[in-house]
Amino acid sequence: MKSSSVTFRARAEVSTSHAAAPAVTPVRFPAKVELFNGVMMTPTTYDDVVDVCINAAKARQPAITAFAANHILAMAAGDEAFRARMNDFDLVAPDGQPVRWAMNYFHDAGLTDRVYGPELTRRLCQAAAERGVSIYLFGATDAVIAKLCENLHAMFPKLVIAGAESPPFRPLTPEEDAAAIKRINDSGAGLLFIGIGAPKQENFAHAHRHSIKAVQLCVGAAFDFHAGVKETAPAWMQKRGLEWLYRLTKEPKRLWKRYFVTNTHYLALFAKHAVLKKLGKFPRQQSTSSRPTDSDLDDELTVAA
């Protein structure tokens, strides 16, 4: 599909979005803890994520954030290169209920809810509208992007969408990539929502962690849900960690491998580390910096589809 871009500049708020921000103290993201096989996760809440992301955006401080369900955590636990990239993120919050349960069980995190990407997107857009932070949307299809913009404006009339585009499903050429980054940066957006599917979106965010001047948020299916083209699971299924089952019934061909293979891997990881905890050998590593030291990984990553 051909890439498309739409820019919204009808609101008066846009005219001030490029004003130079005064010098501020760097925003520090919450510390992370080790969960499985060296994978670092952030024990955090909706309110804390909204606050730190909005503050970073207003300070014009770039950051990369992700929201990990079972399959992402299992993938990172089993893939050293992907794990290194994920551990380089400023924030990796528990998107799935089983991940939240694991953080509570192994680290006494006391989390009462997960940080679900679609719900976080809604809360962040509300906060962005209230606090004068513009956003950029990158992902989905032309039709989904158009409907998403329409719905977000209906929910939050003061929200400034500085730009929105649907990239090709294939890997971008170097020229296309550079042009997309220029559009994003030139828009002045403080928040960049990325919805191109996992792990593609996480690889994209990490590869551009030094070139995109915004807070990047890998929110996956949030675009489809807020555009109204897909339905979220019933609340009772979400609370019980069964959203994966609901989505599997809707898209079995696309999602069967993700859920059956990675969920099995996740359960095995949980069982293994539960035994380690009983033996007093569960790792207790915690990050001491809000921004991990950059790894030696090449920025020019080959983004997996």
Tens of pLDDT, residue by residue over 105-131, are 999 999 999 999 999 999 999 999 999
Is there a domain that residue 193 lies in?
A: yes
Q: Which of 184-188, 225-229, 279-283 has the lowest mean pLDDT?
A: 279-283
Contacts of 298 (CB under 8 A, 6+ apart): none
| 34 assigned to some structural domain | no
Classify 217 as helix, strand or coil: strand
H-type alpha helices, the chain: 46-58, 70-78, 80-87, 97-107, 117-131, 142-155, 174-187, 200-207, 222-227, 235-239, 243-250, 252-278
> β-strand 91-94 against 63-68: which pairing, if any?
parallel
CA dist 61 and 216 (Å) reads 11
Residue percentage of the chain with pLDDT more than 90: 72
Q: What is the C-alpha to C-alpha distance for residues 219 and 240, in angstroms, rounded to an integer?
A: 21
Instruction: Give residue 60's Cα distance to chain centre.
Output: 18
Q: Is the pLDDT of residue 273 over 90?
A: yes
CA distance 305 to 303: 6
- Give the residue among 11, 3, 4 at the shortest CA–CA distance from 159: 11
- Is residue 134 included in any domain, yes or no? yes
User: How much is the pLDDT for 130?
Assistant: 98
The strand pair at 191-195 and 215-218 is best described as parallel
Task: Report how far residue 305's alpha carbon sits from residue 198's, in angstroms, rounded to the nearest whole number.
Answer: 9
- What confidence score (pLDDT) does residue 6 get? 53
Total domains present in the chain? 1
> Does 198 fall in a domain?
yes
Give the mean model confidence (pLDDT) for residues 57-67: 98
Q: 3-class SS at 140? A: coil
Handedness of CA 74, 98, 224, 254 (dihedral sign): positive
- Asked whether residue 213 is domain-assigned, the answer is yes
Give me the residues paired with residue 234 across strands.
Answer: none
Tell me the pLDDT tens digit for each residue of 159-173.
999 999 999 999 999
Domain limits for position 241: 51-278
pLDDT digit string, tens, across residues 177-195: 999 999 999 999 999 999 9
Who wins on pLDDT, 122 or 302? 122
Would residue 27 count as lying in a domain?
no
**pTM for this one?**
0.85
Pairwise CA distance, residues 17 & 251, whole Å: 40
Span of 127-131, 176-180, 225-229, 244-248 with lowest mean pLDDT: 244-248
Residue 144 to residue 126: CA distance in whole angstroms: 20
Domain for residue 131, yes or no?
yes
pLDDT at 294 over 50: no
